[in-house]
Amino acid sequence: MMNDGFDQAGKEQDEPLLVEIRCLVPPTDEQKERIRAFFEERYGKDDVRIQVIRDSSVKEGFNIFAGDDNYDWTALGRLRQLRRYIQQRPQGRDSKEIISLLRENIQKFELDAGYQKVGRVLTVGGGIAVIEGLQESAYGSIVLFECGIKGMVQDIRKDGSTGIILFGDASEIKAGSRVVQTGRKAGIPISNRLLGRMIDPLGAPLDGKGPIQAKTYYPIEWPAPGIIDRKSVGRPLETGILAIDSMFPIGRGQRELIIGDRQTGKTSIAVDAILNQKGKNVVCVYVAISQKAGSVAKVVHTLEKHGAMDYTIIVSSPASDPAAMQYIAPYAGCAVAEYFMTHGRDTLIVYDDLSKHAVAYRTISLLLERAPGREAYPGDVFYLHSRLLERSAQLSDELGGGSMTALPIVETQAGDVSAYIPTNIISITDGQIFLDRDQFYAGQRPAVNVGLSVSRVGSAAQTPMMKNAVGTLRLELAQYREMQVFAQFGSDLDEQTEKQLKYGAGLMQLLRQPNQRPYEMWEQIVLLYAAREKMFMNVPEKKIPEVREEFLSWFREHHQHCALSLQESKRFTEELRERTIRDAWEFFEKEEAFGKRI
């Protein structure tokens, strides 16, 4: 040993058992003998060699390693032990007794404090570390490397090694590095202070607004509510988009897929749905998975511009993040929404998008040397999304009556909805909104394909007034699309067919809706009644969007009481319907309303 009480860290030892003591102040000779006696008895060794290494990170006490075992007898280790004791202490312990126990614990020399197994890194690369020595690790548990980087157990192998996905830069992790269990499942700190913030999947702030100081640690993986814990979806969650709320209604607790090719307006629909929740006591969570930083910044700017960030939380894992961070991002966002749901709040969560999430999981699985299946995805890729989306629910009144509505987004290639990931997610969700590329390029926004879109909740998530106002709208649009195909052949059409084509074209124009302009419920009902009564028939097709906005402004100004009745009405009455139609005709019967515009 050196004169200062420390040994050289790199000196190899050939003795049967090497005990490594890491500390700032070296142990006394008496402490060394007690440590030696402890390990001789614990491991049945006659020859124990003690090596003392200076470690400035150990502020007080000793951090002792013996093979794959770690005995954390530092000040922090003793505090952890005392915390566990306090949490499990019998009722009646007062603060004075706790302080007395703390002093006794600090003064008492107990090597058993903080005992834990230690693993060692075999290989590292590609955001994956393979370790040995932590055979008792559970799937999804968090481990800590000696350089401070965290990882999550993702693969438990027959040979005793364990595959770890890394949450950080792996350049500081080398073969032979130590890794210890934290005793915690993967989770995220949550509190009401998250509202209006942007965080990463580990809960760290990304918006530069300072620490969040969330104290509740919520696991990102949690079993979905059972049948007894749920109740039927029956309350509407309005998106403010006429084409969706009228034909494909979404209920609170539903999972509605938004699917379509790249750049067809999928994110715009989700953002408009978030904007429409203003003032409705709904917490919104937007999860950006492998998105460009500029795209996420654009979404944040839109939400801030319309005052929607006050009730919204952004969970972002951009394309520059490791695959492991992108993999846990939707589960972290789901945990945030689930926290509010279990506290009786209604929540809306957007996953943008799950096709990139599946790619991140495929990357992880291939690096872990799992057997690839169809399109190189692992065999459990269906379970990857089912355990995520099944957590969306309408909880029973006994559990607070909260809800989580999910809007997962999936990108298709050339409109192929029969691809592997889209078909998997379609089978999990309660319907899909399919955005057609040809309609989008033709100027139809949102480009909702009426034939391929569906809501399996249906009219159960609509108000009675909306049910009556919709009528046979979807059937009329389907007939129009069919007639439109035959009209392309250029044959002569009878007068009735021409009227139906004109009416259908007017409906398509009426359903065109600019971004960031969600409609209130009364506005949608008034427009639907006006369409069913063919009030827009005398309006030129290209003028319909302009006349529509003027019509709504006029109705708001002259028939505010009727609009309020439509918005707040809990039941349908024939009197209110007739009154709405009569008030709407007032606008269209005035020739001066169109004389200067047509």
**In the Cβ-directed half-sphere of 10, how many Cα atoms lie within 13 Å?**
0
Peptide bond before residue 353 is cis, with ω within 30 degrees of 0: yes
In three-state secondary structure terms, 278 is: coil
Q: Do β-strands 216-219 and 187-190 pair in parallel, antiparallel, or remain unpaired?
A: antiparallel
Rg (CA), the chain: 31
Q: Do β-strands 150-156 and 178-185 pair in parallel, antiparallel, or remain unpaired?
A: unpaired
Would you give the distance in Å from CA 303 to the centre of its chain? 17
CA distance 356 to 289: 7
Which residue in the list 120, 230, 456, 474 is annotated as catalytic? 456
CA distance 80 to 115: 11
Dihedral angle sign, alpha carbons of residues 339, 344, 349, 355: positive
CA distances from 191 to 188, 203, 288, 340, 456 (A): 10, 11, 20, 9, 34
Alpha-helix runs per DSSP H in 313-353: 323-342
Cβ-proximal residues to 176 (8 Å cutoff; 6+ apart), any chain: 120, 121
CA distances from 6 to 11, 39, 54, 85, 208 (A): 12, 20, 7, 34, 43
Establish whether 456 is a catalytic residue: yes
CA distance 286 to 316: 8
- Give the N- to C-terminal CA distance of the chain in Å, as an integer: 99
Instruction: Report yes or no: 188 and 218 within 8 Å, Cβ to Cβ.
Output: yes
Residues in the chain: 598
- Orientation of helix 420-428 relative to helix 354-367, angle to 10°: 120
Burial class (CB in 10 A: 0-12, 13-18, 19+), 561: exposed
CA distance 395 to 225: 8
Residue 121 parent element (H or E): strand 115-125
Angle among Cα 518, 568, 268 to the nearest 5 degrees reads 15
Instruction: Report yes or no: 512 and 445 within 8 Å, Cβ to Cβ.
Output: yes
Residue 161 parent element (H or E): strand 161-166
Instruction: Report yes or no: 49 and 4 within 8 Å, Cβ to Cβ.
Output: no
Two tokens, residue 15: 């003795």
Local structure of residue 254 (DSSP, 8 states): -
The letter for the amino acid at 252 is R
Residue 503 parent element (H or E): helix 495-510
The letter for the amino acid at 544 is I
Burial class (CB in 10 A: 0-12, 13-18, 19+), 486: exposed
Cβ-proximal residues to 106 (8 Å cutoff; 6+ apart), any chain: 75, 78
Catalytic residues: 456
